[in-house]
Structure formats: structure tokens, C-alpha cells
Amino acid sequence: MTIHIGIIGTGMIGEEHARRITLQLTGATITAVTDVDQEQARGVVERLGLAAEVYPDGASLIASEAVDAVMVTSWGPTHEEYVLAAIEAGKPVFCEKPLATTADGCRRIIEAEQAAGKRLVQVGFMRRYDSGYQLMKEAIDTDRLGAPLMVHAAHRNPEVPERYVTPMAIHDTLIHELDTFRWLLDDDYKNAQVVFPRKTRHAHSQVADPQIVMLETVKGVRIDVEVFVNCRYGYDIQCEVVGEEGVARLPEPQSLQFRQSAQRSNEILMDWKKRFADAFSVELQAFIDGAASGTLGGPSSWDGYAAAIAGDVCVRAQESGAIEPILMPERPAFYA
Amino acid sequence: MTIHIGIIGTGMIGEEHARRITLQLTGATITAVTDVDQEQARGVVERLGLAAEVYPDGASLIASEAVDAVMVTSWGPTHEEYVLAAIEAGKPVFCEKPLATTADGCRRIIEAEQAAGKRLVQVGFMRRYDSGYQLMKEAIDTDRLGAPLMVHAAHRNPEVPERYVTPMAIHDTLIHELDTFRWLLDDDYKNAQVVFPRKTRHAHSQVADPQIVMLETVKGVRIDVEVFVNCRYGYDIQCEVVGEEGVARLPEPQSLQFRQSAQRSNEILMDWKKRFADAFSVELQAFIDGAASGTLGGPSSWDGYAAAIAGDVCVRAQESGAIEPILMPERPAFYA
Amino acid sequence: MTIHIGIIGTGMIGEEHARRITLQLTGATITAVTDVDQEQARGVVERLGLAAEVYPDGASLIASEAVDAVMVTSWGPTHEEYVLAAIEAGKPVFCEKPLATTADGCRRIIEAEQAAGKRLVQVGFMRRYDSGYQLMKEAIDTDRLGAPLMVHAAHRNPEVPERYVTPMAIHDTLIHELDTFRWLLDDDYKNAQVVFPRKTRHAHSQVADPQIVMLETVKGVRIDVEVFVNCRYGYDIQCEVVGEEGVARLPEPQSLQFRQSAQRSNEILMDWKKRFADAFSVELQAFIDGAASGTLGGPSSWDGYAAAIAGDVCVRAQESGAIEPILMPERPAFYA
Amino acid sequence: MTIHIGIIGTGMIGEEHARRITLQLTGATITAVTDVDQEQARGVVERLGLAAEVYPDGASLIASEAVDAVMVTSWGPTHEEYVLAAIEAGKPVFCEKPLATTADGCRRIIEAEQAAGKRLVQVGFMRRYDSGYQLMKEAIDTDRLGAPLMVHAAHRNPEVPERYVTPMAIHDTLIHELDTFRWLLDDDYKNAQVVFPRKTRHAHSQVADPQIVMLETVKGVRIDVEVFVNCRYGYDIQCEVVGEEGVARLPEPQSLQFRQSAQRSNEILMDWKKRFADAFSVELQAFIDGAASGTLGGPSSWDGYAAAIAGDVCVRAQESGAIEPILMPERPAFYA
């Protein structure tokens, strides 16, 4: 059985996913694409040699009989509308983060999905599919570390463009950690605080960079995440979990070890796409397989909602400088 | 276009390849299988849910119109016959090592392939597709290390069964290094010597373990490979290339770093299948793509022949204790 | 010239210092010792074969003509009295931390030392003499990292005795970091906050363990220090400085790398005395040389005062849960 | 008790030792120095502020009542004469390698020392005092690795001067490994072979560089040592011992780990003096203590003799290209 996928939004990430599905993954074909820039959509079809029709808009694509499952990789503010439409059509939908730009939007999706009576949404938090984080989760779940007490993490990018402003450190960058740690620790957040170190001279004027976000979970784990998006030296994701019985640290990407010029050195990646390349593949294959079997798994719309709520509080904490409570509604049994 | 593949030999490695092609790779379907144990072949079809016919023998499978390309994963002594038949039928053939059990057998394949006027054979030296070795090759080819002068390598297995005897350290184990270093260095071997350290107490009586194989290449590179197949602690492949301008070392497989019980530790794999899992996928995808486009690449039958010649000399060197010359015939332009 | 040293307090650390001075260092002889337990003092003289007289008390030892320089390694609450007496006598004095148990006590020492018109006090903050921290300071001072923005640190002990209570995480443990980071960054603290993760099951009832202390410096550097004194697995000191131009991490103590039992592993020390053994030697030699030349260097009584002030605020922050300001008086030109 | 030391030869290494003894070690004073260049000797006395007399020659220095123990750090060909004179005078003597420039010379020393009836000679093989090698020896002696089977080693220097010719790779460079492995394995050599990889373009015309020396021990351990004295990138000493139960690798010198410019990097030392700085101190302190107590330990003249014999055979193997037997005389009970 081959799943027919329609892609809404054929920008960089949309094209990347289309290429992956077509060249590397099994069980799916791209049969439909659309983009606000129709020329762009046609270009992707041509570049990848897809047997796909270009639709005039998301609504018609979702409605099409040629489409079994939908991927939403359009501009963030449009996500909610397309996800709701896919749910309405009863079609599985993969939605890149954010699920919606507001917690309210996420809530509307959750309600619609529950009303539909069936999980139809997978949110694009690819780190859950990274082999390193999976080993970490296994170490926690098998109690090898004892109860987790602290997480020390860093999310570093070489640089960001001028349009990247302070709150984007939460909504665009930390958002991955916000999902990852809930999943890793099987826990929820209780409060958040953000502090600002001296600003790097490499940051643009509209962004406070770096930032340190401190989170407390319901179970009492303390998480600190350094977000440093103009660190220059590389794309570097670090995560150390400190438990009662030991400490585990995420593996770093592999490369040759060189001995040259009075140095032992290993390459650090500059490009985030390479860092999680395998995770993207596993993630999308999981969506294809879940859509085929009618049993979607992975990050749910509830997870998207939880990340949105925590993200909003972190932005508030950026502004207030205070320890801000994170209030999560009761999780419906539907998402248990 | 989907390539229809017939598999001859559905033992462990044949089934593994069938699973990979079916579940992970794109562009191919298994349409035919055979095995001396027909029951075994039927079992694989069932376990993997293949839409494949079970053929009574390799000849009929190769001849079948349902088969575009052939994979030979049967018992070593049968390889030559099937590869020759596939060439005769003008069908691309992937052959697990060894290409043939004798250098003469390999030569017959080379001659047949040249007579066919087209590359039809890819030999199963998967290390060329490992990302670590590819980085190493890139470091050499881009002259980052300067001229290579030495290679220090180790091939360690936790343990081997009782039927594993001294020459198998060459034909079954070192064979991978024999191909890898020719490719990595773009070079050929000039002579070989084997020395035997004190034997480990963990080795069975019929195998001298460990061994150290020393090779000199035509360009003057000196290679030493420790072959230690009862090392107990893990499956560990090491390779360090020492060049005029620096040294590079193969990355080790990734895992979490733990801090526990007065130790920092990282897991070492015990299972060779995990070590080169990604390489197997890239290798087989390359075969599928090459078969589809009619332009096979990767390790050729000439490479299989060269490894066979070097392997035979290494076995002679095991017996003589002397430095044994390795005489390679002139490479035909066909394999340039 | 040989400096004659008198030691006040011959407990574990006093005996250790006496052994170092006698067996490993040059330029000094222990000529006098005292302890509240005179028997203990006599035991040290005997065990180390010292040509030293046992004095009835600190005052008589300090006053003795046989003593050129004084080491105060007695119980913390007695430090102030002995240091003041040594200053009064015009003799160089090495004082283990704390310089005094209160900031006021430290201030009295500073005033006395300034009145004496000459640096006479070296405080026992040995980390400044550790080769790893010295490399870190060099990397910062030579601007290799650019302006420092953040410090991530951890101070982990395998376990602590029952008498170790929550404030001791500051006064006995963090005190080293409090001095180290002022020196490393050439900076002062602006405020402190302490948060408490879920408590490890290995902690006694009177200690909140672990703790995370967050400090902001005058220059805007943000420091987070994990203090975890029942971490079980080892004595582990970590420090990472994140600067505008790169990141540097403290080296870990050396040991063999083992490959055994499916693991690559390196030993982690269990014993803090081994971790800074070399630093202790360099520190004491610096005191001897400084006493001999009349030009004491290293951590001054001002540094002891600054650490005491910061420590007091951290304890307040433990209790309040709030961000507590750290107010440092103007540094007198005497200590510039 | 303070040992009065006379130094014969105040070149670089002699001055370095004099500085160490004077500034870092305990229990000894330099009371006498001599050098063929008397001006040079006077310079050292002045630079280090020694209370030492400059003697006209080694003989008068050895004979002087002001000298309890002798250090021979003069030009290699003069070592034998001075060591014999010190033995004759019944004074403990520390002799830098080589003990003598010929095995015959070493034998004469052994005979003289036995005739004197007492160990009087310590040879300057400092690696035995390096903490890394000592950990390795402990891992072997406590059977943690099981029976040693192989040693893989490398001795790399950034560069050598033009006067450094092919045999010096043995006599000046490998000589350290020749002693170290006998001690580490508690074993003797059985044969040696030397092979020459392609020569690096950075080597001068009179030296074949790199070289690989292969040794077999009496117990059957196979050792390969890469000697590469124009490797450019650093002074790099590597040693991996492969045993029946696991593998251990020598620690590398410590430095900060940097993350900069798309690289994780650690410094590699360029200067051999820094690599074994601590080992030199421990070595010389052992000589001082042994001289004081009348019980010299460490590398004996028998060890110097054994290294000389093995070195001579290695040079023969350089020339012959063959596997050359190493015949060690029976070890006298005196050196057991």
C-alpha cells in the first residue's frame, strides 16, 4: 500500500521533506503540492521529477481524492487552518512546528481532533526520533540513571538573520527543547525563568543573545538551557541528564579525529539540517507508516499545545524577569 | 521505475538484505528468491510478506523474466557459478564476498564481464559506503593529510565459532580491509607478511589468534592490521592513516557518555551488523540505483579479484612466515 | 634561605600540608606546630620526623622567634584570631578557607593588614594554582574566547557525612567556585539565586542536595553551578566558559582508556585530595617563595572577604528563593 | 640529610636537571659542576645561583669530597668513562641515556658495578616514572588486561635537525621504548625487524623517516612502534597494550577542550620536555632519595645494557631488512 501525500508549502523544509519521501523513504508518493507561490511549487515538482499535481490552494489539496495524507510545511500562521481542514477531512496530517501560533489555536485543534474521535495529527518535533535522544530516553526509562534531577542543555547556532528577534529564541529555537524534555522526562513544566547574560557582539540589535532558560518540572527536575544563536563556531546541541545514580550526556556527531598543527580536532557541524538528518527520515517514515496503518504516533497535537503554552510563558518570563508559573490544563484521556 | 530483484541464498545475510530492500530502500522489489533449503526460502517470503516466487534453483531464478537484477548471498563456493550466469543473462548482479573462492574463479568472472562489454557486477564490500571511511577517503583525496605513509588498523571481534580456522582470519575477516585500503589509498599491494603474537587463551585450538598482517603498497605505504577475533570486549574496527601533513582516525560508533561508578564510559558495540548497518543500506541502494540506470559503480569484479589475490598471498604468508610478494596483473582499461 | 614555618592546627589538612612542605617542596622547614589536641600535634611531629617544637597554643607559636611564617589550618572559627595575631606580629600567614567565618571578621583582617602596610595574608584557594584553571584563565586573558558570556560549572562529591547541612553547600563547597570565578573572569558578583531540584534519595535529611546556584557578575556574565554532594559516582569538577568567540572546557583528570566488557572507559576520581594534589603543591610553594621574598601573591584577604560576602548572600538566597543582590564595598587601592 | 651532587656536562639537559634539583626537588644540593666548555659551566652556576664549584674535569669532580653523588649528562661517548670512575669511587651515579655507546661498554659497567658489590648506577629512562606508564604497568601487573599479547606504539616528533641520521631513530628515539616495554611487560626481546614506509617529504636526505620497528618478546608479545621524527604536528607518544581480557591506552596530555571555528580541539604538545616534565622530577627525586638511603632503584645498568643490545640489533635490522635475533646474556642474580 502506497500512501498519497499532499504537501502544503514547498519552501525549503517542504522541498526537503518531498525529496526525502521520494528518494529515501518507502510507502509514500507525493501526488499533490501547493504553495502561495505557485511557481515555486511547480519548480519543486520539476526538480524532484514528481508525478504530482500543483493545486491552487491548501483547501483544494486537502479535499482532493488524490491525497490520503497531508503535510503542512507552510508559513506558521497558516498551520492551524490547514490542520483543522485535514481533521475535518478525516485525513492524517503531519504539521511542522508550530502546530498553531497561539495556544488557543492549538486548543481548537485538540478539540477538533477529539471530536473526530481519532488521532490524526503528528507534530514535527523530530528530536524524538534522533538516536541519541532515544538512547537517553532508554537510559531514563530503564532507570539506569535513577530519578532524573537536573538537565543541563545548550542549543547553539552559528548565526541568525536580522529578522530573528528575542521572542524567536523561544518560539523558533527553544521550542524543540520544550517538547523534547517533556517527552524525555515524561513530565510537565511548572514554571520558567529567563536570564540574559551580557550580549555577544555578534548579535543583531533586535535580539538578546545568549539567553538562559530555567524550567522546573512537576516532578521537580530543574532544567537549564543555554540558547545562543550567534555562537559562531557551529550548530551544537548539548544535553546532559543528571540522575540519582549517574549522569548521561548526548553523543556528539561523528567525524574523523585529526592530529594536525599541534591539535587533536574533530569537526563540529555548521548546518542544522545535517545534525538531525537521520531523525527527519525516521520521523517522516513514522508518519507514513502511521498514516498507512491508521495508528499515528509520535508528538501529538496535545504535545504541540503543551509546547505552545510553555513557550508563551517563557516569552512572558523574558519580559518580566520573574519566575513565571506554567499552568497546563488536565490532559484529556484521549491523549493519555 | 522499480527494479525486480531475485535473491539467491536466503540465509542470515540474504534475509537481512531482503528486509532492507523491502522496508528501508526505494526503487526495488524482491520478486524471486531461492535457496538450497526451499523451506528456508519460503520462510523468508512469509516473514517479510514478500510478493516473491520461490524458485527451485539459481539458474531458473536468473533466467526468469520476473528478475531484473540478481543478488548472490548463497554459500561462497557457489558464487562464481551464479555471477557468471547473471553476466551471461546480461543482468546486474550484486555478489557478497567472496566474488569467487579462488583468484582463478574471479579471473573467469572478469573475462566474462569484459566479454559482455559492460559492468554488471558489484561486490559486497560495504565498508566503502560507511560514512567514516568516506570521510577518510575525502581527507586523503583532498590532500588534507598529505601523502599517506602508514595505516594502523585493527579488526576485532568478540568471538568466533569453532569452525573458524586460521586462514579464515584472511578470507573472512581481513578481506574487508584488503578491499578497503586499496580503495582508500588508490593503490595496490606489493607484499604481505603475517606474524603471530602469543595466542589468547580464549581462542579455539584451530585458530591462531590474534594475528598481525603487514602489507606494503606499490606507492610505499606500510599497513599493519591487527586481526583479533576473540578479543571478548566488542566488535571494534579501528583505522588510523598517518600522512605527511597529519593523522586521521576513523570515528567510533556513537552512544551516550555515562558517568557512573567512578567511570566515564561509552558503549562499544558487540554486534558487527550494527556497526555497518548504515553502510549496508547505502551499498544496496547504490546497487538498486546502478541497476536501474544501467551504470553500476562501487567495488567491481576487478576489486574482488584483487582482494582474492592479496588474500591468497596473505594465507601463504601465514604459512611461510616470510615476506611474500603480491603480484597483480595489469588492470584492464575496462576497469580503469 | 629557608623559611621556618609554624603550623596551627594539625588535623588532616594541616598534616597534609606539613608532609608536602617537608617531602615535596623546597625552601621551608616546619619548626613549630600546635593543636588544641596536643597529642595530635606530637603525633604529626613524630610521623613526619619533623624537627619541630610543639607549642601550647597559637599565640605562643606566632610569637616564637623560631617561626618566620604561619599556616592556619585549625578549626574555621579560630582563623580570624590567628590571622590577626600573625599580622600583628608582621609575619606572613597562609590561612585555609574560610579566612573568617563572617564577612565582618574578614573586614577586620583587611583593616589590620592595610594598617600593617604590607600584604601578609594568602588565603587557601588552591584552584587558582590548578593547571587546568590556569589554562582557562590564559584563554580568557589572551582574548582567545572573546568576552566571556556564561560559565556552566558543576561541583560534585560522591557523598558527605551527616553533619553536612544545606548552608555548607555554600560555605564548604561552593566557596571554591566563588573565589575561582572572580579570579578567572576578573570580575565581581552582582546577585545570586539558588534553586533546588528534586532531592536525591542518597542525601541525608538535613541537606537539600543537589542545588543550582546562579550568579550574575558586574560585567554581565551568567554563571550556573550545580552543587551535588551525594552524586555517588565520583569527585567531579566541571567548568565550561562560553565566550563570544568560542567555548573552553576544563580538562578532566587523566587515566588509562580501557576497552573492556563492551565499554570504553576512563576512571573518574573518587577522592578530592587527588584532584587538586598538584595545585596544593604549587600553592604552598608560592606561599613559601612569597614569604621568603617578602612579596606574597595569590588569593588575598580581600579575596577571602569577597568570597565571604558572596557566600553569605548565597545562603540568604537559599532561604529566600529570590534573586539576592551582592553588594561589594569599593576595593581599596591596597588590594588593586 | 642533604645529598651533594656533582654534574658532569652542563648542556641543555644538565642545566635542566640542575634547575629541577635546585628549585623543585628536595634533599639535594648541586655542589660541583664541570663541562668541556668551562665558560658554559660557569654560566649555569650563575644563572641558577648555585653554591657550586666549577671543576676542571669529570675525574676531579668525581674524586672531590664535596660530591656525594654524580650526574652524567655529558656527550654520549664520554658516559662510560665517568660512570666507571663513579663506581670506582663508590659514589651513586645517575647517567643519562645511553649508558655507553656500545653494548661492550655497558658490559664493562655491569662488571664493575658487580665487582663493587652494590647498585650504584641509575640510568635516565624517565618514562618509567611517568604516571601514565605507571598506570599501564599497574593494569598489567594486576592482571586487569589478562596476558599482554600486543603493543601498538608511536613515537612522533615534530622535526629533527639535519645531523639526525637513520640509526639515530633507534639510538636516540626508540631507545626509550626499548627500555619501557621490557619494564612494562617484564619481558625481554627475541627479535627485531624494521620496515620503511614511503619517506615523508619533510625529512632530510640522511634519514629514512618514518620507520616501523617490530619486536617479538620472549613471552611472545608482538610490539610495533612507529618512529616518525618529522611528523610536523606535535610530540606525540602513543601506546596501546592489547591483552587477553581488554585493551588499555596511555592517556594523552591534558589541555582545555576548545569549541571554535567548526572544531572541537585539544592542544597537542610540540615540546618533548613538557611531555615528561613530571616524570623527570619523579625520576631525579628517586635518584636523590636512593643515593641518600643507599638503595638505588629504577633502571639499572643491566637495563641500560639490555637496551643497548636491542638497539644494536634494531640498527642491524634497519640495514638487513631481515628479522634479526636479539640474544640477551643470562641476567646475573645481582640484577634480579
- At residue C1, the pLDDT reads 72
Check pLDDT > 90 for residue D214. yes
**Which residues on D lie below 8 Å from A232 (Cβ)?**
260-261
Report the alpha-carbon distance of residue C67 to residue A19 in Å, rounded: 81
Of A154, A224, A244, which has the smallest distance from its Cβ to C201's Cβ? A244
Of D25, D256, D261, which has the smallest distance from its Cβ to C248's Cβ? D256
- At residue B151, the pLDDT reads 98
Q: Give the chain C residue whose CA is nearest to the CA of D253.
A: C254
Q: What is the mean pLDDT of chain D?
A: 97
pLDDT digits 0-9 by tens, D243-277: 999 999 999 998 999 999 999 999 999 999 899 99
Check pLDDT > 80 for residue B320. yes
**Which residues on D lie below 8 Å from C26 (Cβ)?**
22-26
The interface predicted TM-score (ipTM) is 0.95
Query: Comparing A336 with B308, which gets the higher pLDDT?
Result: B308
pLDDT, block means (10 residues), chain A with 336 residues:
94 96 92 97 96 97 98 96 98 96 96 97 98 98 98 98 96 97 98 98 97 98 98 98 98 96 97 94 97 96 98 98 96 94
Query: Looking at the structure, do residues B140 and B256 belong to the same domain, yes or no?
Result: yes
Asked if D256 reaches chain A (Cβ–Cβ under 8 Å), the answer is no
pLDDT digits 0-9 by tens, D81-111: 999 999 999 999 999 999 999 999 999 999 9
Query: Looking at the structure, do residues A14 and A43 belong to the same domain, yes or no?
Result: yes
Check pLDDT > 80 for residue B237. yes
pLDDT digits 0-9 by tens, B119-137: 999 999 999 999 999 999 9
Query: Looking at the structure, do residues B188 and B328 belong to the same domain, yes or no?
Result: yes
Q: What is the mean pLDDT of chain B?
A: 97
- At residue C336, the pLDDT reads 86
Tell me if B20 is assigned to some domain: yes
Chosen from D236, D249, D259 to mutate, greatest number of chain A CBs within 10 A: D259
- Rounded average pLDDT over B261-266: 97
Query: Looking at the structure, do residues D292 and D330 belong to the same domain, yes or no?
Result: no
- Rounded average pLDDT over C298-305: 98
pLDDT digits 0-9 by tens, C186-214: 999 999 999 999 999 999 999 999 999 99
Q: What 3-state class would DSSP assign to C68?
A: coil
SS3 content of chain C, % helix, strand, coil (to 5): 40, 25, 35
Query: Looking at the structure, do residues D199 and D107 belong to the same domain, yes or no?
Result: no
Confidence of residue D23 (pLDDT cuts 50, 70, 90): confident
| Percentage above 70 pLDDT, chain C | 100
Query: Looking at the structure, do residues B163 and B32 belong to the same domain, yes or no?
Result: no
Q: What DSSP string runs through B229-264?
A: TT-SS--EEEEEEEETTEEEEPPPPP-PEEEETTEE
Asked if C51 reaches chain D (Cβ–Cβ under 8 Å), the answer is no
Q: Where are the beta strands (DSSP E) in chain A?
A: 3-8, 28-34, 53-54, 69-72, 93-95, 121-123, 148-156, 189-195, 211-217, 222-228, 236-243, 246-249, 257-260, 263-267, 324-325
**Which residues on A lie below 8 Å from D264 (Cβ)?**
252, 265-266, 268
Check pLDDT > 80 for residue D1. no
Q: Count of B–D CB contacts within 8 Å?
A: 95
Q: How far is CA C171 from CA B101, C98, C178, C208, C314, in A?
A: 73, 8, 10, 14, 9
- Whether residues D254 and C24 touch (CB distance < 8 A) is answered with no
Of D233, D252, D259, which has the smallest distance from its Cβ to A260's Cβ? D233
- At residue A12, the pLDDT reads 94
Chosen from B259, B269, B270 to mutate, greatest number of chain C CBs within 10 A: B259
Containing structural domain, residue D144 = 130-270+307-335
**Which residues on D lie below 8 Å from C266 (Cβ)?**
251
Check pLDDT > 80 for residue B89. yes
Query: Looking at the structure, do residues D58 and D105 belong to the same domain, yes or no?
Result: yes
pLDDT digits 0-9 by tens, D24-78: 898 999 999 999 999 999 999 999 999 999 999 999 999 999 999 999 999 999 9
Query: Looking at the structure, do residues B266 and B140 belong to the same domain, yes or no?
Result: yes
- At residue A1, the pLDDT reads 72
Query: Looking at the structure, do residues D317 and D228 belong to the same domain, yes or no?
Result: yes
Query: Looking at the structure, do residues D54 and D87 belong to the same domain, yes or no?
Result: yes
pLDDT digits 0-9 by tens, C109-142: 999 999 999 999 999 999 999 999 999 999 999 9
Long-range contacts for D321-327 (Cβ within 8 Å, ≥24 apart)?
Answer: D321/D194, D321/D195, D322/D193, D323/D191, D323/D192, D323/D193, D324/D191, D324/D192, D324/D193, D325/D190, D325/D191, D326/D188, D326/D189, D326/D190, D326/D191, D326/D192, D326/D215
Q: What 3-state class would DSSP assign to D239?
A: strand
Chosen from C209, C211, C247 to mutate, greatest number of chain A CBs within 10 A: C247
Q: CATH number for the domain including B266?
A: 3.30.360.10
**Which residues on C lie below 8 Å from A197 (Cβ)?**
149-150, 220-222
Find, among B227, B264, B220, B265, the residue nearest to B242 by Cα. Answer: B220
- At residue D305, the pLDDT reads 98
Query: Looking at the structure, do residues D294 and D234 belong to the same domain, yes or no?
Result: no
Q: CATH number for the domain including D15?
A: 3.40.50.720
Query: Looking at the structure, do residues B123 and B147 belong to the same domain, yes or no?
Result: no
- Rounded average pLDDT over C263-267: 97
* Radius of gyration of chain B measured on its C-alpha atoms: 20
Q: What DSSP string runs through C142-159?
A: TTTT-SEEEEEEEEE-S-
Q: Count of A–D CB contacts within 8 Å?
A: 50
**Which residues on D lie below 8 Å from C275 (Cβ)?**
none
Cell numbers representing residue B309 in the block: 589475490
pLDDT digits 0-9 by tens, C148-164: 999 999 999 999 999 99
Report the alpha-carbon distance of residue C46 to residue C40 in Å, rounded: 10
Of C132, C254, C258, which has the smallest distance from its Cβ to D246's Cβ? C258
Chain C neighbors (3+ CB pairs < 8 Å)? A, B, D
Tell me if B25 is assigned to some domain: yes
> Is there a cis peptide before residue B210, judged by omega within 30 degrees of 0?
yes
Q: How many domains does chain B have?
A: 2
Of D26, D131, D256, which has the smallest distance from its Cβ to C251's Cβ? D256
D302 φ, ψ (degrees, to nearest 5):
-65, -40
| Percentage above 70 pLDDT, chain B | 100
